Amino acid sequence: MTDFTMTTDADGVATIVWDTVGKSMNVMSRDSMGLLSDLLDSALADEAVKGIIITSGKDSFAGGMDLNVLASIRDESGDNPAQGLFDFTMNGHHMLRKLERAGMDPKTNKGGKPIAAALPGTALGIGLEVPLACHRIFAADNPKAKIGLPEIMVGIFPGAGGTTRLVRKLGAMAASPLLLEGKLNNPQKAKAAGVIDEVVPADELLAKAKEWVLSEPKIVKPWDEKGYKMPGGAPYHPAGFMTYVGASAMVNGKTQGVYPAAKALLSAVYEGALVPFDQALKIEARWFTHILMNPSSSAMIRSLFINKEALEKGANRPEAPDQKVKQVGVIGAGMMGAGIALVSALAGIKVVLIDSTQEAADKGKSYTTAYMDKGISRKKATEEKKAAVLDLINATTDYDALKGCDLIIEAVFEDVGVKADVTAKVQAVTGPDCIFATNTSTLPITELAKAAADPEKFIGIHFFSPVDKMLLVEIIKGKQTGPVAVAKALDYVRQIRKTPIVVNDERFFYANRCIIPYINEGIRMVKEGVAPALIENAAKLVGMPLGPLQLTDETSIDLGVKIAKATKAAMGDAYPNAEVDDVLFWMFDEGRLGRKSNAGFYAYDDKGKRQGLWDALGARYPVAGAQPDLITVQHRLLFAQVLEAVRALEEGVLEDIREGDVGAILGWGFAPWSGGPFSWLDIIGAPYAAERCDQLTEQFGERFKTPDLLREMADKGQSFYKRFGADAKAA
Ligand code: NAD
């Protein structure tokens, strides 16, 4: 069996079927690319073949390039990996150019065989770049199919001609959401956007493609014809000029200059637009190689694609029979419980949603109603779907309704006593096999498990707010949590299509443990007299989605005060954050609780829209005459987080650095360009990181003290991924 096979029918139409062996979706590998090239050669050389259809043996067309291939090419290319990657990319271009030219005479554009792409479903990445090289793209009318070039999302850009072809097909302006944002469309929308040519009923897909192939169509691409003009204008055309200048500003504004792929993509588009097509492909290949050689792109691919997927597929799932959830009980229908009920019902799981009053339970359920209504108004859901989802949620005060639940998720008030009561009440009804999970964000799981009948079946499933938007779920093992509970939590997270990390039970688990020092460092700088605008902009310029002060406003200052008080009570004299509390408690006393009170580190208008930083803050905390440089502020903000991640690893809270990196990006938006805290440390290198920590410790205090592990790695010249990565684990 091979990934591509070809048959030719009596009418002389050769059909090449892509069917990657052993995968549910087609992915392009190095070998399969060679195979496709060979089949094309033989079809183009065979006089009996009049035209070609490229289609798929699966429901979808293709998911894209096997991104492991790019990493392996770089690793296998000896001392000149850039050359290896460039040659590989150019090989791809030659193959697709051969497909596009299809044997036409280079001078007259005469002859050649028509080649149609027939997409039964989703076509992503190189799974769309191959069709873009074909002469006509047919897609089955399958509204669930996704068509697009999402490469930018993992820190690269379409490098198999997709960039050059799409811009020449649509113009830079129309191509920009597809290339720069990785926007995916269903077939109808992809046709409206001009990406594909025809949408046909699924059962007529091949027939329509064949009909076209046999119709002796014109197959020469516009850019291979004399006098071709780029839609919307090339860069030296007045309209084109505006597009390119605007795009450059937009990209820098959106990425703050930290995502090299977006800039490289723009360069490939701009420079490519100035030269003939084949030259443009070469330019695209050079920029593509440049990006593949950038440590940010490998780190992003590793965390956001390879490792994210591995975790979703259960890389750290203990051996246990299938634990798919049939009915979940959600206790507490507040902000979190309502969201948990929603995402569970959306996944088709029956939900019993309990609160202390029927009114509160109904209010929790109404969150799903509102969500579905919004979906309907945006044409993403239907009345039937809404009715089906709502039907799955039983909002009640009756604990007896929990009989038959195989998973309970408790999301009541953050109070040990209330949670203990609820645990006992629930367990009086549920069976011995039911797993009990708590969504606590601050209370130790091992402590809460004391109220459970069987602590082996007790676990933390920590969602982030808002539940329906946040992709990460942190699973926390208490001291006695057993493997079945972990498997249950993981299988549930998989059902609701989120990404799990599994950590051990220590104060604030993993995500909050790292994000709190980030917030604290920002506030500490306010107290020191660092300009708030410098703090906020330094954070954004290093790729944090929100500055620490804005984040404090979003999560609310009263929550910060509550956490500070609890931490102080637990740590006693060792509590290190008095300076932070000075600011935080004052803000609290002033009633500036953040977004929810329309007043915080930022000012807000009556409608709650954030304005600028609150200018009166300086009256209490004057801005110092001498300001630190940008890098110092950035390093304080980044090291505050990554040192906690390293300590979490040292202490065994994290068992897998992949979870540390993926969790950081999805959980609190840690500079995604870096691939996560451990990837960032690998990029800057342990020796430099340790040296920098020494300097920061001297200047700013013990909280930056180099962890022993980092010191040891610096001395030995080690990297986290070589020492702790999946390969090291397997070895
Ligand atoms: P919330 O106050 O919005 O909701 C709590 C709900 O629990 C309320 O509807 C309340 O009526 C109900 N409740 C209280 N006692 C009950 C009882 N004995 N029986 C049944 N229902 C009861 O709180 P929330 O923000 O949804 O937080 C809930 C839990 O999730 C807390 O443990 C919190 O720490 C955790 N959490 C919150 C966030 C967040 O961002 N808000 C994030 C992660 C985890």
**Fold classified for 327-507:** Rossmann fold (3.40.50)
Average pLDDT over residues 342-367: 98
For 377-410, the DSSP string reads HTTSS-HHHHHHHHHTEEEES-GGGGTT-SEEEE
How sure is the predictor about 729, in pLDDT bands with cuts at 50, 70 and 90? low
**Cα torsion 424, 429, 434, 438: sign:** negative
Average pLDDT over residues 290-307: 93
Q: How far apart are CA 204 and CA 201, in angstroms?
A: 5
Residue nearest to ligand 1 atom 31, measured at CA: 414
Q: How far apart are CA 300 and CA 293, in angstroms?
A: 12
To test the ligand 1 pocket, which listed residue (330, 335, 462) has its Cβ within 8 A of the most ligand atoms? 335
Residue nearest to ligand 1 atom 35, measured at CA: 440
Pocket of ligand 1 (CB under 6 A): 331-337, 354-356, 360, 411-414, 418, 421-422, 439-441, 462-463, 465
How sure is the predictor about 118, in pLDDT bands with cuts at 50, 70 and 90? very high
Average pLDDT over residues 653-680: 97
**Is the distance from CB of 686 to CB of 670 less than 8 angstroms?**
no
Residue-wise pLDDT tens digits, 574-619: 899 999 999 999 999 999 999 999 999 999 999 999 999 999 999 9
Residue nearest to ligand 1 atom 20, measured at CA: 355
- Interval between CA 465 and ligand 1 midpoint (Å): 12
Other Cβ atoms less than 10 A from the Cβ of 178: the count is 27
Residue-wise pLDDT tens digits, 222-257: 999 999 999 988 888 888 888 888 888 888 888 888
Q: What percent of the chain has pLDDT over 90?
A: 90
Closest ligand 1 atom, CA of 412? 7
Closest ligand 1 atom, CA of 357? 11
- Interval between CA 414 and ligand 1 midpoint (Å): 7
pLDDT at residue 288, rounded to an integer: 97
Model confidence at 297: pLDDT above 70:
yes
pLDDT at residue 239, rounded to an integer: 83
Residue-wise pLDDT tens digits, 166-175: 999 999 999 9
Closest ligand 1 atom, CA of 397? 20
Q: How far apart are CA 455 and CA 679, in angstroms?
A: 35
- Interval between CA 584 and ligand 1 midpoint (Å): 24
- Interval between CA 663 and ligand 1 midpoint (Å): 23
How sure is the predictor about 394, in pLDDT bands with cuts at 50, 70 and 90? very high
Model confidence at 651: pLDDT above 90:
yes
Closest ligand 1 atom, CA of 465? 40
Residue-wise pLDDT tens digits, 524-566: 999 999 999 999 999 999 999 999 999 999 999 999 999 999 8
- Interval between CA 412 and ligand 1 midpoint (Å): 4
Pick 4-293's CATH classification: 3.90.226.10, 3.90.1300.10, 3.40.50.300, 1.10.540.10: 3.90.226.10
- Interval between CA 577 and ligand 1 midpoint (Å): 27
Model confidence at 730: pLDDT above 60:
no
Mean pLDDT, all residues of the chain = 95
The CATH class that applies to domain 512-630 reads: mainly alpha
Q: What is the DSSP letter of 150?
A: G
Read off the tokens for 447.
């402590």
CB within 8 Å of 731: residues ≥ 6 apart = none
pLDDT at residue 728, rounded to an integer: 65
Closest ligand 1 atom, CA of 337? 26
Q: List C-alpha distances in Å: 169 to 162, 176, 236, 273, 441.
A: 10, 12, 18, 12, 50
- Interval between CA 565 and ligand 1 midpoint (Å): 19
Q: How far apart are CA 706 and CA 722, in angstroms?
A: 20
- Interval between CA 353 and ligand 1 midpoint (Å): 12
Average pLDDT over residues 101-117: 96
Q: How far apart are CA 436 and CA 406, in angstroms?
A: 9
- Interval between CA 418 and ligand 1 midpoint (Å): 10
pLDDT at residue 236, rounded to an integer: 87
How sure is the predictor about 343, in pLDDT bands with cuts at 50, 70 and 90? very high
To test the ligand 1 pocket, which listed residue (330, 363, 399, 413) has its Cβ within 8 A of the most ligand atoms? 413
Residue nearest to ligand 1 atom 30, measured at CA: 411
Q: List C-alpha distances in Å: 518 to 74, 360, 562.
A: 35, 35, 17
Closest ligand 1 atom, CA of 333? 9
- Interval between CA 440 and ligand 1 midpoint (Å): 8
Other Cβ atoms less than 10 A from the Cβ of 43: the count is 24
4-293 shares its CATH topology with 327-507: no
Amino acid (1-letter code) at residue 423: T
Closest ligand 1 atom, CA of 336? 26
- Interval between CA 338 and ligand 1 midpoint (Å): 9
Residue-wise pLDDT tens digits, 432-450: 999 999 999 999 999 999 9
- Interval between CA 278 and ligand 1 midpoint (Å): 60
Average pLDDT over residues 81-104: 96
Residue-wise pLDDT tens digits, 675-721: 999 999 999 999 999 999 999 999 999 999 999 999 999 999 999 99
Q: Where are the domains of the chain?
A: 4-293, 327-507, 512-630
